[in-house]
A and B are shown apart, each in its own frame.
Chain A
Amino acid sequence: MGTITKLLESLLSGLSLGSIYALIALGYTMVYGIAKMLNFAHGDIIMAGAFSIIVFTATCGLPPIVAILLGIVFCMLLGVTVEFLAYRPLRKASPLAVLITAIGVSYLLQNVAQLLFGTSDTEFPISVGNSALALGSVSVKYSVLLTVAVTGAIMIILTLFISKSRTGKAMRAVSEDKDAAELMGINVNRTISVTFAIGSALAAVAGLFYGMAYHYVGATTGAMPGIKAFVAAVFGGIGSIPGAMLGGILLGIIEKLAQTYISTELSDAIVFGVLILVLIVKPTGLLGKKISEKV
Chain B
Amino acid sequence: MKLKKATVNKLITYLMVIGMFTAIYILNEGGYLSRQLQKMLVPICINIILAISLNITVGFLGELTLGHAAFMSVGAYSGCLFSIAMKETLPMAARFPLAMLVGGLVAAVFGILVGIPVLRLRGDYLAIVTLAFGEIIRNVILNIDFFGGASGLKGTPRDSTFLIAAIVVLITMFVAMNLQSSRHGRAIMAIRDNRIAAESAGINLTYYKLLAFVLAAFFAGVAGVLYGHNLASITPDKFDYNRSIEILVVVVLGGLGSVRGAIIAAIIMYILPEYLRFMKDYRMLIYSIVLILMMLLNSSPAAIAIKTRIREALSGVFKKSKKTAINGKGGSEA
Contacts and interface: CB of A to CB of B under 8 A. Distances in A.
Interface of A: 32, 37-38, 86, 89-90, 92-101, 103-108, 110-112, 114-115, 227, 230-231, 234, 263, 265-266, 268-269, 272-273, 275-276, 279-280, 283, 293, 295
Interface residues of B, number: 47
B296 interface: yes
Interface stretch (B46-54, B75-83, B128-136): B128-136
Contacts of B129: 275-276, 279
A99 B125 contact: no
A104 B288 contact: yes
B281 A115 contact: yes
B271 interface: no
Main secondary structure of the interface of B (DSSP, over half): helix
A265 B303 CA distance: 46
8 contacts: A97-B295, A99-B124, A100-B64, A104-B295, A108-B289, A111-B282, A268-B139, A275-B132
B143 interface: yes
Given A93-B300, A273-B136, A283 B121 contact: yes
Interface string B124-161: 11011101110110011011000000000000000000
A34 B234 CA distance: 44
Nearest to B117: A280
A89 B302 contact: yes
Given A93-B301, A95-B124, A283-B121, A272 B133 contact: yes
Nearest to A95: B123
Contact of B128 (A115, A230, A263): A230
Contacts of A234: 125, 128
B64 A265 contact: no
Given A38-B124, A90-B295, A96-B62, A276 B288 contact: no
Nearest to B286: A111
Contact of B117 (A86, A231, A279): A279
A153 B322 CA distance: 65
Contact of A89 (B120, B248, B296): B296
Given A99-B127, A266-B143, A280-B117, A111 B64 contact: no
B64 A96 contact: yes
Contacts of A89: 296, 300-303
Q: Which 5 A-B pairs have the closest CB atoms?
A: A104-B291, A107-B288, A97-B299, A272-B132, A38-B124
